Amino acid sequence: MYFMFFAAAASMLLSPFPVIVNNARSKQMTRRAANLEKQVTDLRAIQTDLDRKRIQIYAQITDSLQTSLHKTEIDAADLNDLLHFCLESILLSKPETHDLRAAVFYLDKSKRYLVVPPNGYYGYALDQDIRGLYFDVSPRQGFESDEVYLERLGVAGSCFVNRTPIKAADVRLPNPLYRYKPFAASQRDQPDRAMICIGIPNLDPQKSGEYIGVLAVSSLTASVLTDNDFAITRFFAALLGRFKTPPEPPLITTAHDGSKPN
């Protein structure tokens, strides 16, 4: 009889417990579902905003191209616009990135150096000092070691002479194909890390396969540039092939001196 009494009492005390547990779990699952729904809504809003920006940028590019394609050749003002649109196109897929920059290097009148023409740069922490940066792409001399030769070519110069695009997760790491040398005037900030260099094609049918320069896109953040960014850079490099005016040679005092080509 006592056993039956205790069993009845235990049943009365414990019977609400599963209900309480189930209610708690139900509330927890409801909260999780609400959080997931909010995340999905936020992601859709972000995607919608990116799509809107993408359409705006493509419209701006189209308008710019309609103007520039009517010209016999693009000029320095067009360079700045194209570099701006190049970076904006890349940033669509990485809205949290704020340190992208781009510079274009063309073969100068002496056909020995790659130099930055007026307005040939755009982006984070770049100013007119970048125009003091150049690359000596003249043929290798017999007295030059591998290291000396690669150092004067730099990353962009290696891309140019080897006719090979470069996509580096971190140009600061050792690589047998190129050497990165910081440009002294740009050392107010950290040096480049991720970098893409694409040759600018010579659009003259008689000189197919030749380069007239190099487009470099870089970031202070390693591994931030993707294959998609590489494709975008290649597209804009092709557009930059319409720049026909060779820039002036750099102001240097000796053959391999100067501001230490990057």
Q: Please tell me whether residues 182 and 228 are part of one structural domain.
A: yes
b/e per residue, 113-127, with b = 16+ CB within 10 A? Answer: bbbbbebbbbbeebe
At residue 23, the pLDDT reads 79
Q: Do 65 and 152 fall into the same domain?
A: no
Q: What confidence score (pLDDT) does residue 255 get?
A: 46
**In the block, which residue shows the tokens 């308008």?**
63
Q: What is the pLDDT of residue 44?
A: 84
Question: Does residue 65 sit in the same domain as residue 91?
Answer: no
Out of 27, 50, 70, a domain closes at 70
Q: Is residue 258 part of a domain?
A: no
CATH number for the domain harbouring residue 160: 3.30.450.40
- Successive 10-residue mean pLDDT values, the chain, 262 residues: 52 56 79 86 80 74 69 88 93 91 97 96 90 94 94 96 97 94 63 95 90 97 97 96 93 51 40
Domain that holds residue 61: 1-70
Domains: count for the chain: 2
Residue 250 in domain: no
Beta bridge partners of 214: 105, 199
Q: What is the pTM of this model?
A: 0.77
Do 92 and 208 fall into the same domain? yes
Whether 203 and 106 share a structural domain: yes
Q: Please check whether residue 249 lies inside any domain of the structure.
A: no
> Exposed e or buried b for every residue in 137-175, given b needs 16+ CB within 10 A?
bbeeeeeeeeeebbbbbbbbbbbbbeeebbbbeebbeee
List, in order, residues 6 or more apart from 8 with CB less than 8 Å away: none
Are residues 171 and 237 both part of a single domain? yes
Q: Say yes or no: 108 and 154 in one domain.
A: yes
Q: Is residue 167 located within the same domain as residue 223?
A: yes
Q: Which residue, 135, 74, 105, 123, is CA-closest to 214?
A: 105
Considering the domain boundaries, does residue 253 fall inside one?
no
